[in-house]
Amino acid sequence: VTGTLRVAGSEVRIGALGAGLERLAAHRGPLPLISDARVLGLHGGPLLDRLPVEPLLVPEGEEAKRWPVLEALLHGLARLDPARDTPVLLLGGGSIGDVGGLAASLFKRGCPTVFIPTTLLAQADSAVGGKTGIDFADLKNLVGTFHPPTLVLADPSLLATLPARELHAGYAEVVKYGLIDDPDFFAWCEADGASVPAGHLPNTEFAVRHGLAAKGRAVEGDERDRSGQRALLNLGHSFAHAIEAEAGLGRVLHGEAVAIGLVLAHRLSARLGLCPPADSARVERHLASVGLPVRLADVGVSGTPLLAPMRADKKNEGGGLNLVLSHGIGRAFLARGVPVDAVASFLAEA
């Protein structure tokens, strides 16, 4: 099944890669191709065979999102010297999209990118919305730009080679879209969602399409994340980014930290009397049932040290914390100025 949608400045094609690659055949090259060795080995074949690509390789995973890697990519682009309207191809997961997109947005003040996401997380979420970035000063995504890909080619069959742990991590971001504002989709997750990390292709395509469309709705009109409209996409993420930083960036996968963050956001909401405890329990039960971590102890992190990175979050303003909390399944909202004390005592017990 192939379908094209427009999401937040990007044209998105969901389906087999072949047709999408034909669109790129008109470029004479060299076409820079940013990827990592594993992904290039598994899925680079059709690109290397059919297009005048020049691979620029980065380390796998979160290790790619570092300043020296960004610098090396910029040297690589300078060496290849593509024309400014030549697209930079990004083949890989969210880490490749983040650092490669940042490099492309800086080079010659911005080259177009074509993103071929190869993880569930990237296909269902990170490929659209335009955020690029690297980790800096021990904080996630502290440095970055807005630079949406012109074209996203999402082929769910590429996920067949993804390790189970990565598939599950990506699934946490899929569930997030149900929890934000779509209780029916969360109910679908409870009933059929486990088939997605288990590799069921039609359900995976459904989940990818659903995630991309939901993200598109959230981003449309607030492409630069200024009005607060995009804020709900951050459900679970204030906790998640702190967990990732505390565990050591790259140790806990982003999606695993998001799973715990989703549970903590609902438990804190329940504790503040905002969310029915039964809904909070449902969130935890579903994520745990597919094998995702749901408690800090599951990843060897304790609660109190999370407060400092949460207070340093770039989304806070004034005294308290700005957190996405929930009134129940599918009823997330932005809570401004949540008292630090309340969060501190919650974390101490979490």
Q: Which of 159, 165, 164, 166 is nearest to 201 (CA)?
A: 159
Using rule CB under 6 A, residue 38 touches ligand NAD:
yes
Site for ligand NAD in 62-91 (CB under 6 A): 62, 65
Contact 105, 53 (CB under 8 A): no
* Of the candidate residues 58, 125, 262, 283, the single one contacting ligand NAD (CB under 6 A): 125
Residue whose CB is less far from ligand NAD, 252 or 347: 252
Using rule CB under 6 A, residue 7 touches ligand NAD:
no
Using rule CB under 6 A, residue 122 touches ligand NAD:
yes
CA–CA separation, 330 vs 28, rounded Å?
47
Site for ligand NAD in 263-322 (CB under 6 A): none
Using rule CB under 6 A, residue 330 touches ligand NAD:
no
Using rule CB under 6 A, residue 60 touches ligand NAD:
yes
- Residue 209's CB is within 10 A of a number of other CB atoms, namely 19
CA 149 to chain centre: 14
CB of 156 to ligand NAD, least distance (A): 10
Q: Which of 22, 86, 79, 25 is nearest to 56 (CA)?
A: 79
* Of the candidate residues 36, 205, 225, 246, the single one contacting ligand NAD (CB under 6 A): 36
Q: CB under 6 A: which stretch of 45-53, 95-103, 224-232, 277-285 binds ligand NAD?
A: 95-103
Residue 151 tokens read as 């074209």
CB of 255 to ligand NAD, least distance (A): 6
Residue whose CB is less far from ligand NAD, 167 or 275: 167
- Residue 132's CB is within 10 A of a number of other CB atoms, namely 27
Question: Which ranges of 23-66 does DSSP label H, i.e. alpha helix?
Answer: 37-43, 45-50
Using rule CB under 6 A, residue 113 touches ligand NAD:
no
Using rule CB under 6 A, residue 92 touches ligand NAD:
yes
CA–CA separation, 335 vs 234, rounded Å?
12
List Cβ neighbours of 329 (8 Å cut-off, separation of 6 or more): 178, 179, 183, 186, 279, 282, 283
Binding site for ligand NAD (CB under 6 A): 36, 38-39, 42, 60-62, 65, 92-96, 98, 118-119, 121-122, 125-126, 129, 131, 158-159, 161-162, 166, 169-170, 254-255
